[in-house]
Amino acid sequence: MSEKYPGYDVLSKRNSPSWNEQTRRVIDARLAIDPTAHRFFTDEEWPLVCAICARIIPQPPSPAATVPLGAMLDEKLFHDQRDGYRDARLPPQRDAWRRALQAIEAQARDSHGRSFSQLDGVEQDRLLQAIQHGQPAHPAWAGMPPALFFTNRLLHDIVSAYYAHPLAWNQIGFGGPASPRGYVRMDFDRRDSWEAAAAQPGQEQQARRENSRVGSG
């Protein structure tokens, strides 16, 4: 559980009026994602994808506390779930990811003689930072702007996947879709009883007690 929202577990709302059956089905599907499964990425691409995800959003070592970022990204691309818009300087998302992974791997092997997934954390971060700033532009990018891919696809897709998962909701005190209950107290510094209580200094136990009741009714 998050230190910011002690005792808060968004899944305690599952059978409360906060969520309807459609919401439960969507969230159950996300929780059922196999973190090792991949249908879009190849076996060769998969270690690279997982390594990139781990550098963008480092997570606890415990599988129970880890959002399956690589698998969620794989699901998005396998089903070709698009954003409804695209920068014309980038190819469609599936093509963009395929080309970028080839380029990242090529840069890693040219610079270090090893696969990206075999580099240490510092080396991986430096390579990703170079891509973020568009330097160097390896020929394997084939005209696709590295910095633009980093911002509009790599960062966007990985961070969006993270914050679409209930484990991340616990970290930020988010209650998930407010359907059908909605919210009542809409003014500043007001909170409905089914919303998470943030812990103020010295008031952690009070927040814990309040958060234990978020799914009670």
Q: Give the pLDDT means over successive 10-residue stretches in the chain (217 positions).
A: 83 92 94 97 98 97 92 98 95 98 97 97 97 91 97 98 96 88 84 90 92 83
| Cβ pair 170, 197 in contact under 8 A | no
The pLDDT assigned to 14 comes to 92
The pLDDT assigned to 1 comes to 42
Sequence-separated (6 or more) residues with CB below 8 Å from residue 28: none
The pLDDT assigned to 217 comes to 65
The pLDDT assigned to 178 comes to 82
Q: What does 98-153 look like in DSSP terms, one character per residue?
A: HHHHHHHHHHHHHHHSS-GGGS-HHHHHHHHHHHHTT-S--GGGTT--HHHHIIII
pTM of structure: 0.92
Q: How wide is the angle at C-alpha 152 spanned by C-alphas 166 and 89, nearest 5°?
A: 155
- Write out pLDDT tens, residues 18-49: 899 999 999 999 999 999 999 999 999 999 99
The pLDDT assigned to 86 comes to 94
List the structure tokens of 16. Answer: 């409360």
CB count in 10 Å sphere of residue 183: 12
The pLDDT assigned to 180 comes to 84
